[in-house]
Copies of this chain bind each other. A is one copy, B any other.
Amino acid sequence: MYYYEDFHVGDTFDFGPLSVTEEEIIAFARQFDPQYFHLDPERAKDSIYGGLIASGWHVGALFTRMYVDGLLNEMAGMGSPGLEQIRWQQPVRPGDTLRGHLTVVEARVSKSRPEMGILRVNCEMFNQDHELVMTIVGTNYVARRKED
């Protein structure tokens, strides 16, 4: 199990791959984001995206799934207060295979909760053509290692 003390500015982690199907894109859109360019492959051709694209919230959730599988579930994570600057740089389309890359850019102990560290992380997500599809600057709470 990784604790706050195990992370340092400049550390990087790679996640994935994770693929997404047309059925998954439509199912997510039907539940959470039923705009036609996320929901209807035919009508989506007339959008500025030229075809069906995943909801931005779906793309973020897919990054999170890779992040949890690849790191968060092996670290003493305590959640997150928020994110800065989400950029959907390129659409995610049916059949895309996604990978994640994370860089620790800041690490400090919480003033109000000294048992907890706060990591600032730069997140990048790429598709199978190595195109950058999303960037996020995020914050994660992580427990400090208990002294014996």
List the interface of chain A (C-beta within 8 A of B): 28, 31-35, 37, 47-49, 53, 55-58, 60-62, 64-65, 68-69, 72-73, 77-88, 113, 116, 141
Contacts and interface: CB of A to CB of B under 8 A. Distances in A.
Contact of A72 (B35, B58, B141): B35
Which 10 pairs show the lowest CB-CB distances between chains A and B?
A: A32-B61, A82-B87, A83-B86, A57-B61, A82-B86, A32-B65, A33-B64, A57-B60, A48-B78, A34-B68
Given A32-B62, A32-B64, A61-B33, A84 B85 contact: yes
A64 B72 CA distance: 25
Contacts of A60: 57, 60
Q: How many copies does the complex hold?
A: 2
A47 to B, nearest CB: 7
Q: Which of A48, A57, A62, A84 has the most CB of B within 10 A?
A: A57
Contact of A80 (B77, B88, B141): B88
